[in-house]
Amino acid sequence: MYLYSLSLQRATGIVCATYGNFVGGKTQEIVVARGKVLDILRPDDNGKLQTLLSVEVFGAIRSLVQFRLTGSQKDYIVVGSDSGRIVILEYNREKNTLDKVHQETFGKSGCRRIVPGQYLAVDPKGRAVMIGACEKQKLVYVLNRDNAARLTISSPLEAHKSHTIVYSITGVDCGFDNPIFAAIELDYSEADQDSTGQAAQDAQKHLTFYELDLGLNHVVRKWTEPIDNGANMLVTVPGGGDGPSGVLVCAENFVIYKNQNRPDVRAVIPRRTDLPAERGVLIVSAATHKQKNMFFFLLQTEYGDIFKVTLDYDSNDHVTELKIRYFDTIPVTSAMCVLKSGFLFAASEFGNHALYQFQGIGQDTDVESSSANLMETEEGFQPVFFQPRKLKNLVQIDEVESLMPILDMKVANLFEEETPQIFTACGKGSLSSLRILRPGLAVTEMAVSQLPGVPSAVWTVKRSVNDEFDAYIVVSFVNATLVLSIGETVEEVSDSGFLDTTPSLAVSLLGEDSLMQVHPNGIRHIRADGRINEWKTPGKKTIVKVGCNRMQVVIALSGGELIYFEMDMTGQLMEIEKREMSGDVACLDIAPVPEGRQRSRFLAVGSYDSTIRILSLDPDDCMQILSVQAVSSPPESLLLLEVQASTGGEDGADHPASVFLSAGLQNGVLLRTEVDMVTGQLSDTRTRFLGLRAPKLFSALVRGRRAMLCLSSRPWLGYIHQGHFLLTPLSYETLEYAASFSSDQCAEGVVAVAGDALRVFTIERLGETFNQTVMPLRYTPRKFILHPKNKTLVILESDMGALTTEERDTNKKEAIEASGSGENGKMYMDEQENGEGEEEKEDPLPDPQYGFPKAPSSKWASCIRVLDPKAGETTCLLELQDNEAALSLCTVTFHDKELGTVLAVGTSKDLKFWPRKESTGGFIHIYRFVNEGRTLELVHKTPVDGVPTALCPFQGRLLVGVGQILRIYDLGKRKLLRKCENKNFPNTITAIHTYGDRIYVGDLQESFHYVKYRRDENQLYTFADDSCPRWLTASLHIDFDTMAGADKFGNIYFMRLPQDVSEEIEDDPTGGKIKWEQGRLNGAPNKVEEIIQFHVGEVVTSLQKASLIPGGGECVLYGTVMGSVGALLPFSSREDVDFFSHLEMHLRQENPPLCGRDHMAFRSAYFPVKDVIDGDLCEQYPTLSTELQRKIADELDRTPGEILKKLEDIRNRII
């Protein structure tokens, strides 16, 4: 078996981010690392974040910084990754790519303890960069420029210190003096030797300054001083004329200002009042805002509260006071960026990212802690308390959806749509949600208006070529035409010159500023000055089809006569040529006039005899047939589209433009054929089934380029995105007819008719594969199942260290009552009073924004939820009591069918992970579905001696994994009855699958075990297991002998029991029991073989088998903690395997990954990659330069077009 791996949704979580002027010019861009993907984002004029570029780097990005050489206008990006290399990137505006400026190797690849890459710091003046590891190694590279003003990088200078753990490094701003880097270091050498533990207790963190002597070209430890032992992060304080220089040391509960030869200035970080006393407050992310004559820092705590830190300093740059003022609360971020334009980009750790706009920069009325009133008592420093409040200084203006983390995923067609839906359980704590993903682009509806009849077609038309916006919307009915003028409002007009007593066939702008209306009996040409020329059809013939562009019009009369008109120099429409076709014309189209030309050369004509012809429109061979293509079904609609895959600029690599003829056939298939620009020959046809209705094709504008709208049983959009032609469904209703629409309010929209309504919509977030429907959940979702018969979901939610909703409500009330004196508290009192009597009062502190209050980690909150996804409502929610947490579930139909299908839920009691995993037991709850499966009713609860971590129905009984024990239970009246058990599993059973009498047991650390149940002897025994240790996180049953699994380190693997062993076991009357009793190497007598191995690079949390396209083959879908969804498609032919493995091989050589990690090494990070071809790498082919594409294509004996077609085809087989 060979698999093709393809990411469908790239990772949506963000690891780290930085910002600067990468494009050059005034705008600021944000560079975000999403694990193995590097993205450049930019807020557009409307404050929406747009992705400029997204590159897969095949490596783990761990740190990012930006720097600028003095006097330069443009910033560079430095990337710290697991490649053992430092990489400096520059954004190339012309090609829209990131160019590797420098790549310097310094160590082994992989995330290792002493190989730098974890930390990056840059001198604020851009003269040097330091790259550090968790321990010991730090390297400094000097940055400079050569005579040609190109960036140069020196050989590395070492600043190592062995036996030292590094917490954070940063550059110190010291103007143009020698660059200094600061590091928080902890020496462990003594603690390792001292058996009394005294040294470990006395271990002291130090702040160390490393000075790079530019003259001597070496690095010295300049200064080191003990600091607070809770220190975890450093923030640079502006210096060199802009401020006092030095660093802010963020420690648990404190922020301390430190600088050489200066006294420390310390202030406490205010605490939330409901925070348990034993918990500290840790700063997890920071942002600096610097203006001409002021600067401040925004520091965010692990609970989401942002504090504004300001420094008071005198003229000698002595810091006199450090103030920490409560600013606002937003979900915890992994990085924050304060842009010059007044935006704050918050890259959330979990859940959606957001863009905020500053409304203020902190009011005086908020709680403030200052170094001036720091109180030290016997128990330590006096804490300062505050209450979070609503957002005051920030306003959210955009949100970027993030699936991170996906904790469980199921694919099913519960809504009976054309394609199945992907249900994902996402988020953590208060940000938990169930998200339903549908393949397709999201659509924003701008307006819907009812029309007086059922319209058949719609067009938009400008008044003049130079107009920016459309002037009219023209709607055609069966016997009339309605003209709407677009202005402040859209209203009907009668002075447009259009004939309104007849239906229309086409409406368009002709020449510079005249309009044309084609109706069944003629062509009406409306000149700009109001003159109207009418051309009437000869005899009783009527016009049936029209094709036109700005200069040319072709009409097809009933009976199959084509008449060609062209506009002459005086602006008159002149008949040029006629041609009789063999039968009626089904459809025709002319491409738009190419820039700088008089006319378009090709006319495409589709006939009912299932052929498509290309006719010439050149004067010398006018209306001659250039080529013919026979198709499988009569064409319904044609569209000639010039695909400039990209001519550079903002969207991909260089490509010559090529003309594609798209044809929607009556059997629902869309054909895309390349038209030779010179001869008009048709070649290289790609087909795709779009839906049950014949696709109608329209041209539309997407980001200023021509794109294609295909209206079948659902609408599709074909457009170019970052060098790829994508054909993606829109998540919208079935539409009849559409036209592009541009007005003041909506620059790039679509106006369409469906039923008796006129709809205007826009398409946003181009390039995304899925659109989401979000339903909030209460706690972190752990697992869920679909109940296909009831069409409901049963979701288990549990949170460690959280209060139950009940406790939280009481606490909230108490807090509000208690804090009557506090300013913040008063506000709530007022609201509480005002809110009385109202049913739904607004929650002053919505949980998703502020998070749940922390509880001791021994406390659990958990619930079982039944959700009807269609209505989006929870039909049943059972909150578990007594510190129980639900961890596993399944539906089971017991032998004794009295209860029908019941739900089994495994719970733990008092579960603890540290210092070692333990619990005081667990329960298996059995629930009956009542009320048509909408509610649950407890049947009974069976105590078990461990945590039931896996449940599975098995031959009318229940298989339970309790720690190391696999058990079979049967249903009793009062509780479950134990029937059979096997205690010999290595660690903890995390997954159970069954097929026939075979049981597949997944262990937490030891991969899968194949188990057989012998009914006659009532025995469970393991007959095969894996030879590799695998920390299983997800599992999927593929077939009788094959299992797919994913481990904690980001690998996906398939394993198969060899055919002969499988047969032997099935044939053996004892079922291999004798062999089992003997055992082998402390394991089962047989070993499974690994047949597939692939490193994804993110923890895979769920695996599913599904087919995402109607009639398509099945593939394995996976969801990861970073919020990405990918697919593994089995190849159906050896030929394809050869082709793609060769393509992959060439791309590995010609297109090494951007961040310096070797592609093969990355995909083989833990185990050598086996029989999987990386589609993400293959899909980088279109982004290569034309020469390189040709070179690779030559090596493969193909043309670049064929390769692109192959790539498109295989993608279309998945989604």
Nearest distance from C-beta of residue 854 to another protein, angstroms: 9
Cβ closest to another protein, residue 200 vs residue 395: 200
- Find the binder of another protein among 44, 200, 373, 817 (CB under 8 A): 200
Residue 916 binds to another protein (criterion: CB under 8 A) = no
Cβ closest to another protein, residue 913 vs residue 1040: 913
Q: Which two tokens stand for residue 1085?
A: 């007598």
For residue 891, list its beta bridge partners. Answer: 903
Cβ closest to another protein, residue 113 vs residue 703: 113
Size of the site for another protein (CB under 8 A): 64
Cβ closest to another protein, residue 188 vs residue 385: 188
Query: Cα-atom radius of gyration of the chain, to the nearest Å?
Result: 34
Q: Is there a contact between 584 and 545 (Cβ–Cβ < 8 Å)?
A: no
Residue 800 binds to another protein (criterion: CB under 8 A) = yes
Of 281-289, 503-511, 689-697, 927-935, the window that binds another protein (rule: CB under 8 A) is: 281-289
Residue 274 binds to another protein (criterion: CB under 8 A) = no
- Find the Cα–Cα–Cα–Cα dihedral 180, 185, 187, 191, rounded to 10°: 170
Cβ closest to another protein, residue 269 vs residue 543: 269
Residue 526 binds to another protein (criterion: CB under 8 A) = no
Tell me, what amino acid is at 54?
Answer: S
Cβ closest to another protein, residue 79 vs residue 1024: 79
Residue 1049 binds to another protein (criterion: CB under 8 A) = yes
Scan for tokens 């859209």, then name that residue.
490
- Find the binder of another protein among 84, 238, 429, 869 (CB under 8 A): 429
Residue 404 binds to another protein (criterion: CB under 8 A) = yes
Q: Is there a contact between 1075 and 1065 (Cβ–Cβ < 8 Å)?
A: no
- Find the binder of another protein among 124, 243, 1097, 1126 (CB under 8 A): 1097
> CA dist 918 to 634, 908, 955, 1032, 1209, Å?
69, 10, 31, 19, 51
Residue 349 binds to another protein (criterion: CB under 8 A) = yes
Q: Is there a contact between 421 and 414 (Cβ–Cβ < 8 Å)?
A: yes
Contact code string over 450-489 relative to another protein, x by CB under 8 A: ----------------------------------------
Q: Which two tokens stand for residue 320?
A: 């006199």
Q: Which two tokens stand for residue 147?
A: 């005579």
Scan for tokens 């060098």, then name that residue.
723
- Find the binder of another protein among 140, 159, 407, 543 (CB under 8 A): 407
Nearest distance from C-beta of residue 984 to another protein, angstroms: 26
Task: Determine if residue 1079 is left, alpha or beta; phi over 0 gives left, psi from -120 to 50 gives alpha, anything else beta.
Answer: left
Cβ closest to another protein, residue 192 vs residue 225: 192
- Find the binder of another protein among 42, 62, 1012, 1146 (CB under 8 A): 62
SS3 sequence of 370-408? ECCCCCEECCEECCCEECCCCCCCEEEEEEECCCCCEEE
Buried b (16+ CB within 10 A) or exposed e, 493-527: eeebbbbbebbbbbbbbbbebbbbbbbebbbbbbb
Of 151-159, 207-215, 404-412, 898-906, the window that binds another protein (rule: CB under 8 A) is: 404-412
Residue 186 binds to another protein (criterion: CB under 8 A) = yes
Nearest distance from C-beta of residue 1136 to another protein, angstroms: 31
The number of angstroms, rounded, from the C-alpha of 1087 to the middle of its chain's C-alpha atoms is 38
Rounded CA-CA distance 1098/414 in Å is 29
Residue 282 binds to another protein (criterion: CB under 8 A) = yes
Cβ closest to another protein, residue 608 vs residue 1166: 1166
Residue 403 binds to another protein (criterion: CB under 8 A) = no
Q: Which two tokens stand for residue 366?
A: 């908020």
Residue 172 binds to another protein (criterion: CB under 8 A) = no
Residue 1121 binds to another protein (criterion: CB under 8 A) = yes
How many CB atoms sit inside 10 A of residue 277's CB?
A: 6
Interacting residues with another protein between 1126 and 1185 (CB under 8 A): none
Rounded CA-CA distance 576/315 in Å is 85
Contact code string over 350-369 relative to another protein, x by CB under 8 A: x-------------------
- Find the binder of another protein among 46, 70, 147, 193 (CB under 8 A): 193
Residue 1045 binds to another protein (criterion: CB under 8 A) = no
Rounded CA-CA distance 722/708 in Å is 16
- Find the binder of another protein among 46, 70, 147, 195 (CB under 8 A): 195
Contact code string over 225-264 relative to another protein, x by CB under 8 A: -------x--------------------------------
- Find the binder of another protein among 104, 177, 194, 1171 (CB under 8 A): 194
Rounded CA-CA distance 487/108 in Å is 64
Of 193-201, 511-519, 578-586, 647-655, the window that binds another protein (rule: CB under 8 A) is: 193-201
The number of angstroms, rounded, from the C-alpha of 828 to the middle of its chain's C-alpha atoms is 37
Three-class SS of residue 1118?
Answer: strand
Scan for tokens 């003309």, then name that residue.
659
Residue 190 binds to another protein (criterion: CB under 8 A) = no
Nearest distance from C-beta of residue 708 to another protein, angstroms: 38
Nearest distance from C-beta of residue 924 to another protein, angstroms: 22
Contact code string over 125-164 relative to another protein, x by CB under 8 A: --------xxxx-------------------------x--
Nearest distance from C-beta of residue 402 to another protein, angstroms: 12
Rounded CA-CA distance 291/521 in Å is 69
Q: Which of 279, 396, 391, 280 is nearest to 326 (CA)?
A: 391
Nearest distance from C-beta of residue 232 to another protein, angstroms: 5
Of 67-75, 257-265, 283-291, 1110-1118, the window that binds another protein (rule: CB under 8 A) is: 283-291
For residue 783, list its beta bridge partners. Answer: 796
Residue 1099 binds to another protein (criterion: CB under 8 A) = yes
Of 279-287, 494-502, 662-670, 1197-1205, the window that binds another protein (rule: CB under 8 A) is: 279-287
Exposure of 281 by Cβ count < 10 A (0-12 exposed, 13-18 middle, 19+ buried)? buried
Residue 277 binds to another protein (criterion: CB under 8 A) = no
Nearest distance from C-beta of residue 307 to another protein, angstroms: 15
For residue 307, list its beta bridge partners. Answer: 299, 326
Contact code string over 998-1037 relative to another protein, x by CB under 8 A: -----------------------------------x----
Q: Is there a contact between 740 and 748 (Cβ–Cβ < 8 Å)?
A: yes
β-strand pairing of 1019-1025 with 164-172: unpaired
Rounded CA-CA distance 617/626 in Å is 10
Rounded CA-CA distance 122/140 in Å is 9
- Find the binder of another protein among 151, 191, 775, 845 (CB under 8 A): 191
Q: Which stretches does DSSP call E strand in 1110-1187?
A: 1115-1120, 1125-1130, 1172-1174
Q: Is there a contact between 1177 and 1139 (Cβ–Cβ < 8 Å)?
A: no
Tell me, what amino acid is at 677?
Answer: M
Of 42-50, 757-765, 933-941, 1120-1128, the window that binds another protein (rule: CB under 8 A) is: 1120-1128
Q: Which of 1126, 1106, 1040, 790 is nearest to 934 (CA)?
A: 790
Q: Which two tokens stand for residue 380?
A: 């330590």
Three-class SS of residue 1205?
Answer: helix
Rounded CA-CA distance 577/562 in Å is 8
- Kindly list the residues in this chain that would bind another protein in the complex (CB under 8 A): 13, 15, 35, 60, 62, 82, 111-114, 117-118, 133-136, 162, 165, 167, 186, 188, 191-197, 200, 203, 232, 282-285, 302-303, 332, 334, 349-350, 404-405, 407, 428-429, 780, 799-802, 857, 913, 1033, 1048-1050, 1097-1099, 1101, 1120-1122
